[in-house]
């Protein structure tokens, strides 16, 4: 009855049940106002950037120039919202990243 409870005869090649194909990871997106677009230049690496105002926080974030939106939606107010990939923020891609460096 309880024999298998203490079965330590584990096979070295024991495998977890196949979880199946991994679901596509939903890209982390940042929702920004399309009309808030402003061109700029990174003061660290000199790359062209595009600033957008983040819908949720109201803060401005720099993205790589001409980021490709994942999706475009329209707010109730009629304003256009772009969904940009969080990894396209210049925070992530700046090779200099002087002021952006994250503590480890
Ligand atoms: Zn930069």
Ligand 1 centroid distance, CA of 55 (Å): 23
Using the predicted structure, report yes or no on whether residue 4 has a pLDDT greater than 80: no
6 C-alpha to center of ligand 1: Å?
58
In this prediction the pTM is 0.67
Query: How many A from CA of 39 to the centre of ligand 1?
Result: 13
* Residue 57, pLDDT score: 96
Cβ atoms 32, 54 nearer than 8 A: yes
Q: Is the pLDDT of residue 27 over 80?
A: no
pLDDT of residue 100: 47
Residue 46 Cα, ligand 1 centroid: separation in angstroms? 6
What separation in Å is there between the alpha carbon of 53 and the centre of ligand 1? 18
Dihedral sign computed on CA atoms, order 79, 82, 55, 23: positive
């Amino acid at each position: 009855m309880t024999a298998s409870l203490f079965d330590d005869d584990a096979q070295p090649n024991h495998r977890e049940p196949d979880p199946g194909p991994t679901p596509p990871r939903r890209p982390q997106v940042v929702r920004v106002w399309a009309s808030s677009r402003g061109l700029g230049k990174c003061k660290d690496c000199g790359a062209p950037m595009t600033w957008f105002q983040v819908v949720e926080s109201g803060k401005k974030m720099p993205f790589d120039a001409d980021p490709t939106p994942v999706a475009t939606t329209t707010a109730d107010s009629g304003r256009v919202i772009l969904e940009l990939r969080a990894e396209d923020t210049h925070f992530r891609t700046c090779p200099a990243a002087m002021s952006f460096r994250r503590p480890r």
